[in-house]
Structure 1
């Protein structure tokens, strides 16, 4: 009886949702993405394995065990040889970064992506009505948003927002803010700039849980142009159809699994704990319970009700039920997963029953660009576009996680066939490579040889 009641409720919810969508003005409550531009830079900023080793060896706080841990992490991270590092790290100033270093890092990313975005779209900076900038680890005065307004001489009544501390899923938070502003400001243009400040936040201590961020995070970012003007519908690349934001910060373990703090020696860094995976799964579950009924067709919603009922009775993880009992591709065509790390990509893939084809864009983005924090999703989307996967009418499911702990997901509808090689233009023909095995594995295989445990860090440096 309970099961049939659940089916009835799902059916009723579906009918009401469709009626509301049609008659309560959502047709005019639109958010179109006209263009986006990801950051790339020169080869002298690349941080390959050899360069990473040199940076590690500059840290005099490390012993052989910490050194081995870092090198093993590099090998297993899924990150390739062509990711980008902040300039001050390349130049050996990671331990004593200046404010100028921090601002120059932001200027480089901001102005590269925005200059190209304005040129590509044909929209003038003076036409922008809303500006949202998200950088979690740097808050300057005047704000970073003000820095952009000053550079491009934007109009005085622009609505500017500067978000900090929002983590890797901040770009979807920024887009949600734009969507809310679009309800007030009609026929408006909005810019979202998503990146992270890595240069002044390089960890120079020796706690393993804090050293991980040095191995995973790399320079990157993206600027996006949005409008709610229906006259630009035919020029749009994507239309936002659904978004659900979940915040699991009320749970202490989730709150503390990704957190900025100082170690016992006073070195500031970003701690990633083993509880991160569990926090991500729990936040994902909460998010999917709200999002799936919005994006799946009626027959899949009935299946969803059945899966949820059966698995909750058996007290099994609902995500396993989602992966094995639902056909998510009846509601979406592509999966744009935050390239936060190999474990994140593997976990989402297993939970949702995805194929290697589905996971390829996230894996290749991690390999080529690393974890670029809030900007990462757009490199994944760019890969799909460069590979000519995105056709008119397709639906793209974006999945992001961030400190807090947050899970923010959304669905985009592709408005026209898109196939710009974008930031991937110089390397897309090389992807996917024949192997993702780090060349470090062969060159430095001795690191796992216990017979060489007598070595000292000084011997390696020589």
Structure 2
């Protein structure tokens, strides 16, 4: 577990963005002419109603044309810049800050490779200061948002009062392979495109024995610490690698992923809470990655959570699908807007991804 030393990094604002085009699961099955009842069942029993995607243009017979790996990388870049910029602008607007106020930018993505990365491109696109510190977290998958947040809160704690941003940019439609197999259909039924930005500023830590000050008006929680767990026995359970047959990268999800994640969730969360002297009963709010229906159920059962505890996680899955590394920030935004949080409340954020990995963070409002 990592604890900020000397100052507490506080989440000050969250902004999200999605591409303009959205599709129901039924519409996607129709667009791609899917008639296999097994594949249709995967789509229609996913607990997902709608996703935002950047689909290729259709050819003469009305079927989306096949994209090359080059087409997919260009989509990753162009669509990613659009939604990444919108998420950051929304985040800064809610905070009442300007791009010139940003002193550090961390960008997260797993749906393509760019050099220079999104951090450099967004600094130019948004007119951030050229002296802005930057970091790109690439290829870590759905858990990467919390890996990046650890870096951002660490930077903010070392630079009190200065504004740091993290943005997740995931164009999952740039990582699709359409070949009619069950392997690719599971992936194609699940992921959506989206970006989420989060602003962090560090504050002085309360003196020993002093009561914690309540949050700034409208501000979010302080991040108290992190706990991680990599399950090396399941290192190949989630992977994004080269498909020789299709000459492009392809994502693979092992059917055992929900059970692997669920079986290790309790130990990871308890370790996070033990080091803070807390118990699961002390946690008022749960912000969990929308990894899929079975993953959410496995985590919920193993942690003893109610459906109300994971209401925002389920809502994000229903309306957006799995947004990879930024999905938990869509849930955080919904919790924030709900207005049910009170000063002194504790919360846990949890993401899961390749490795297989579980990442957690402890929050206090």
- Indicate whether the TM-score tops 0.5: yes
The secondary structure found in structure 1 opposite 2:105 is strand
What are the equivalent positions in structure 2 for 1:12-161 lying under 5 Å apart?
A: 26=5, 28-42=6-20, 45-57=21-33, 67-80=36-49, 82-88=50-56, 92-93=64-65, 95-96=67-68, 97-161=71-135
Match status 1:396 vs 2:364? no
Q: Residues of 2 paired with 1:85 and 1:164: CA distance?
A: 21
CA contact (8 A) 1:242 1:294 kept: no
Seen in structure 2, the aligned counterparts of structure 1 residues 289 and 395 have a Cα distance that, compared at 3 Å, is closer
TM-score (structure 2 length as normaliser): 0.87
Match of 1:234 in 2: 216
Match of 2:335 in 1: 384
Task: Give the deviation of 1:282 after TM superposition.
Answer: 4.6
Task: Give the deviation of 1:38 after TM superposition.
Answer: 1.2
Q: Residues of 2 paired with 1:276 and 1:346: CA distance?
A: 12
Instruction: Decide which structure has the larger Cα Rg and report it.
Output: 1
Give 2:139's match in structure 1, choosing from 151, 160, 165: 165
The secondary structure found in structure 1 opposite 2:23 is coil
CA contact (8 A) 1:94 1:202 kept: no
What are the equivalent positions in structure 2 for 1:53-452 lying under 5 Å apart?
A: 53-57=29-33, 67-80=36-49, 82-88=50-56, 92-93=64-65, 95-96=67-68, 97-230=71-204, 234-235=216-217, 236-248=219-231, 250-251=232-233, 254-263=234-243, 265-266=245-246, 268-297=249-278, 328-329=280-281, 331-414=282-365
Task: Give the deviation of 1:104 after TM superposition.
Answer: 1.6
Seen in structure 2, the aligned counterparts of structure 1 residues 186 and 391 have a Cα distance that, compared at 3 Å, is closer
Q: Residues of 2 paired with 1:368 and 1:98: CA distance?
A: 24
CA contact (8 A) 1:105 1:199 kept: no
Task: Give the deviation of 1:93 after TM superposition.
Answer: 4.2
The secondary structure found in structure 2 opposite 1:163 is strand
The secondary structure found in structure 2 opposite 1:162 is strand
CA contact (8 A) 2:178 2:184 kept: no
Structure (1 or 2) with the greater strand fraction: 2
The unaligned stretches of length 5 or more in structure 2 are 206-213
CA contact (8 A) 1:30 1:239 kept: yes
* RMSD of aligned Cα (Å): 2.5
Per-residue CA deviations over 1:118-147 (Å, capped at 9, x if unaligned) read 222122212211110000122212211100
Per-residue CA deviations over 1:264-316 (Å, capped at 9, x if unaligned) read 6235311101231343135424423521302444xx5xxxxxxxxxxxxxxxx
The secondary structure found in structure 2 opposite 1:130 is strand
The unaligned stretches of length 5 or more in structure 1 are 1-16, 59-63, 301-327, 415-462
CA contact (8 A) 1:88 1:199 kept: no
Seen in structure 2, the aligned counterparts of structure 1 residues 144 and 135 have a Cα distance that, compared at 3 Å, is same
TM-score (structure 1 length as normaliser): 0.70
Seen in structure 2, the aligned counterparts of structure 1 residues 184 and 382 have a Cα distance that, compared at 3 Å, is closer
Seen in structure 2, the aligned counterparts of structure 1 residues 395 and 53 have a Cα distance that, compared at 3 Å, is same
The secondary structure found in structure 1 opposite 2:92 is helix
CA contact (8 A) 2:162 2:201 kept: yes
Per-residue CA deviations over 1:416-446 (Å, capped at 9, x if unaligned) read xxxxxxxxxxxxxxxxxxxxxxxxxxxxxxx
Seen in structure 2, the aligned counterparts of structure 1 residues 144 and 94 have a Cα distance that, compared at 3 Å, is farther
Q: Residues of 2 paired with 1:83 and 1:243: CA distance?
A: 30
